[in-house]
Structure 1
Amino acid sequence: MTATVVTTAIDLVEYAPAISHPLPDPVGQALAAARIVDEATPDPYAPGHWRLRAGSKVGAVTVDAPGCEPFTLRIQPKVPIARLFFLLGYSLDPGRSWRDDQVAVTEHRDLLPAFAHAVERQVDRALRQGLLQGYRPTEESALVVRGRIREAEQIRRRFGAILPVEVAYDEFTTDIAENRILRAAVERLLRLPGVPHGVRRRLLHQRARLADVTPIVSGRPLPDWRPTRLNSRYHHALHLARVVLDGASAEHTEGGLRINGFLFDMNTLFEDFVTVALREVFRGSDCAAHLQDPHHLDEGAAIRMKPDFVLYGPQGAPLAVADAKYKAEKRGGYPDADLYQMLAYCTALGLPEGHLVYAKGNAPHASHRVRHAGIVLHQHALDLDQQPEWLLPDIAAIAHQMNRPARDFTPEVRRRTG
């Protein structure tokens, strides 16, 4: 009988059909427990094989299990990597032009190497003029008075003794939140599988630049930072660093099992891009765009709902509502459940129309008028596999349809929406 050959690396594509692979049971169970893929089940027709189907998460992870070779799973996005970076960059900072030559991603076939390269380039640009300095609140015991004396702490800890003295002051230092976040992202990337040797070498150089910065303890929340004119050269690097740290997969040690990798959710990326792009279209009008706007369906405020995008008029009344849906379509059309959800939004907000925005797949634009209610539900298909100069006007066209019931925007918004 021929022994099963266990694969140590598998490539999947988001939302592609399930495929069967030879896997050790501990690895398959780890993938299922961590919900890295939408489906990870033993194949009933092939012992020693597991059926794997990727969902919306893309990236790469490595699973180490006792008695097994390290196993690497790579999940590729359907959209080109360069286009994915535009979606990500625009949602993080719509005022900046994110182009292929700025993030240099086209030379990499896989997502993680491209992302590591992009982060390293942005960190290098941020640190090129030296480490940013700023004031950091500091509390310590000292032999000289500096700043102000913490009187309550002096009495509690020193029982009336004069020295040492408990003081608080603002220290001008490079050990600030911005530099700590960059160091954490660089160190995180250095621990990930699949980072190319050349990129890893440059990341080590960036870590050496940040060597005097206090590391962030694993599991602790990231320090807060605020975008200002003084830290403007750090903005792009900090945005990407946050994606690295938010996308870090869980690291387990239960039973000797360890999962290490970087994943992010295409559902979230698409939702962020669509809502930010819609908000930008209406910027400068008398209206206000609210993202992830909380509401209640019932009068008793027991049933919560949170539309992705709600547009309000000058008097504060809702004018339009939209939801972004990246998820896979059903064969031949859109999921019906999304229509029921949008109908609930329109009913609760008192709107005559609602808009669902999908990543383009197998269905065109569709509109449905609800019986006995008169509410019209629009389903838009947004083609992500096109250049930004075509993609953003498609968003503006959707905004134009959302604009129709109100007709009270400024001339500037009318020009931008067609």
Structure 2
Amino acid sequence: MTSAADASAVDTPRSVELVEHAPASRLALPDAVGRALAASDIVDATPDPYTPGHWLLRAGSKVGAVAVTAPGCGEPVTVRITPKVPIVRLFFLLGYSLDPSRSWRDGEVEVAEHRDLLPALAHAVERQVDRALRQGLLQGYQATEESALVVRGRVRESEQIRRRFGAMLPIEVAYDEFTTDIAENRILRAAVERLLRLPGIPRDVRRRLLHQRARLSEVTAIVRGQPIPDWRPTRLNARYHQALHLSRAVLHGASAEHGPGDLRIDGFLFDMNKLFEDFVTTALRETFHDRRHASGSHTARLQDAHHLDEASEIRMKPDFVLYRPDGIPCAVVDAKYKAEKRGGYPDADLYQMLAYCTALDLREGHLVYAKGNAPHAAHQVRHAGIVIHQHALDLDQEPTGLLTDIEQVALRLVNTPRV
């Protein structure tokens, strides 16, 4: 057995490479770093019971990179988690999560040259910001309230009385200023600065990001902790849409950034569970949206609230519910991106879907998984007359094939019988 002195002599890795849902890796780590990872819900981290100074790290469904800086450990330890699906496929799924309009999915985001998620994301954001700013910074009207020596816009009479007690100057005014300091530009700057703080950005991409930050230098920076401003897609800001969607992924993704005491964790992570759920439900909704325009038939709702019991005390929110024109549910879907167990998919998913079918008065329910070893299956529930389908989508295929598989699921949904 290795002694504590021997363990302390083992070099601490500056970079840890893990793969999503792969077996645990045994690594020498400072206890402060191991405990930080264990408490952060980034990876499963447990101390090795046989070798002091070593930890067992296992990645779950979160992918990306984080840097952990602990007191007395010198340089930060970077943990990189690689997704099982190719990066280009991951960005295709991300498109459905960010922009249901399909406007940026068709080859607009170049990521094929990168094998790691974070460099690919940084490269894609920089390219889209560059495209957005080629015609100069977007301008718009910004509502401004201030104290001034001359009247501009309108006088805020109540504020003038409350603050100035009858004095004539300065004057409390409100006006709309035509400026580049608008929400769209602030979001782009915040995303660029966020990426510049993250570990593992390639030098050439970092250099280009610094150039984009310089172009946005006159825009007000969003202080860490402040809410991200809202923006609405319009004809006037159309050239910004793709850059803003990707910036949203940077700013609102499952990121880790905190520092209790001298300990700091800083990084960016995608939750593949959420990404897969968003893809499946949004792709299905778009399929029925297109059919509705053609035939005026079904309506799809995501995360629609229902209740299991008559007293409406047990709430449930299926990922996807399809409704007939009369508003009655006709199909239910739950998306499950998870590692399957050796003998098939988890039984708990079947129990959950049985509850959905019972409460919605449906004879069939549909579970959609990322493809594993188990093929499509259908289970007849005893004494209930309910059939639960399990569909498997192969994410490592061309987008056209993946969307064809979604179409096949949609065809089964419209034919779901009621009890």
User: For this structure pair, what is the TM-score category when the shorter chain's length is used for normalisation?
Assistant: over 0.9
Matched, 1:230 2:241: no
CA offsets per residue over residues 162-219 of structure 1, 9 Å max, x none? Answer: 2222122221111111110000000000011110110001001110111111111111
Paired position in structure 2 for 1:151: 157
Higher mean C-alpha deviation, range 250-259 or range 374-383: 250-259
Alignment counterpart, residue 324 of structure 2, candidates 313, 336, 353? 313
Name the counterpart of 1:289: 300
The Cα of 1:91 is off from its aligned counterpart by 3.0
Q: Decide which of 43, 55, 62 is 1:57's aligned counterpart.
A: 62
Alignment of 1:251-262 (within 5 A): 251-262=257-268
Alignment-derived partner of residue 324 in structure 1: 335
Matches within 5 A, 1:119-134: 119-134=125-140
Instruction: Give the corresponding residue for 1:96.
Output: 103
Structure 1 residue identity aligned to 2:224: S
Contact 2:364-2:417 at 8 Å conserved across structures: no
Shift of 1:369: 1.6
State whether residues 332 and 362 of structure 1, in contact with CA within 8 Å, keep that contact through their aligned partners in structure 2.
Answer: no
SS at match of 1:255: coil
The Cα of 1:406 is off from its aligned counterpart by 6.9
Aligned to 1:346: 357
CA distance in 1, matches of 2:56, 2:320: 37
Query: Which whole-Å CA distance do the structure 1 matches of 2:11 and 2:171 have between them?
Result: 68
Counterpart residue number, 1:383:
394
How far does the alpha carbon of each residue in 1:251-285 deviate from its partner, in whole angstroms, 9 at most, with x for none? 33323111111111000100001111001110131
Aligned in 2, Cα 1:24/1:398: closer, same or farther, shift over 3 Å? same
The range that moved more, 241-250 or 200-209, is: 241-250
Q: Give the match's secondary structure for 1:250.
A: strand
State whether residues 302 and 321 of structure 2, in contact with CA within 8 Å, keep that contact through their aligned partners in structure 1: yes
User: Partner amino acid for 1:27?
Assistant: V
Question: Aligned-pair distance for 1:99?
Answer: 4.4
Corresponding residue to 1:78 among 84, 93, 97: 84
SS in 1 for 2:36: helix
Give the aligned partner of residue 215 of structure 1: 221
Structure 2, unmatched stretches of 5+, are: none
2:70/2:264 contact within 8 Å kept:
yes
TM-score of the superposed pair, with normalisation by structure 1: 0.94
Letter in 1 for 2:219: V
Instruction: Measure the CA separation in 2 of the matches of 1:353 and 1:59.
Output: 37
For 1:161 and 1:172, how far apart are their aligned partners in 2?
Answer: 30
- Measured after TM superposition, the shift of residue 289 of structure 1 is 1.1
Asked if 2 retains the 8 angstrom alpha-carbon contact of 1:307 and 1:322, the reply is: yes
Structure 1 residue 246, shift from structure 2 partner: 1.6
Q: Provide Cα deviations, 1:195-253, integer angstroms capped at 9, x if missing partner.
A: 01100010011101111111111111111111111111111111110110123633333
Aligned residues: 405
Q: Structure 2: how far apart are the matches of 1:248 and 1:339?
A: 28
Q: Percent identity?
A: 75
Question: Within 2, Cα distance between the matches of 1:211 and 1:171?
Answer: 19
How far 1:97 sits from its partner (Å)?
A: 5.2
- Distance, in Å, in 2 between the alignment partners of 1:394 and 1:250 is 34
**1:144 shift after superposition:** 2.1
Give the corresponding residue for 2:146.
140
Kindly indicate whether the alpha-carbon contact (under 8 Å) linking 2:362 and 2:417 is maintained by their aligned counterparts in 1: no
The one-letter code of the counterpart of 1:262 is F
Displaced runs of 4 or more, over 6 A: none
CA deviations 1:367-392 (Å, max 9, x no partner) are 11212221111110000000001110
Q: RMSD value over aligned CA atoms? A: 1.5
- Distance, in Å, in 2 between the alignment partners of 1:7 and 1:112 is 20
Alignment partner of 1:31 is 2:57: no
Which secondary structure state, in structure 2, belongs to the residue aligned with residue 249 of structure 1? strand
Cα distance in 1 for partners of 2:325, 2:302 equals 17
Between 1:48-57 and 1:161-170, the stretch displaced more is 161-170
Distance 2:380 2:174 in 1: 64
Aligned to 1:412: none
Aligned 1:233-248 pairs, distance under 5 A: 233-247=239-253
Q: Secondary structure of 1:251's match?
A: strand
Contact kept in structure 2, 1:90 and 1:96, CA below 8 Å:
no
Would the aligned equivalents of 2:256 and 2:268 in 1 still touch at CA under 8 Å? no
Using the alignment, how far apart are the partners of 1:248 and 1:116 within structure 2?
A: 16
Asked whether the 8 Å contact 1:91–1:277 carries over to 2, the reply is no
Aligned counterparts of 2:403 and 2:151: Cα–Cα separation in 1: 58
Quick check: 1:249–1:259 contact (8 Å CA) kept in 2? no
- The AA in structure 2 aligned to 1:104 is E
Distance in 2, matches of 1:300 and 1:158, equals 58
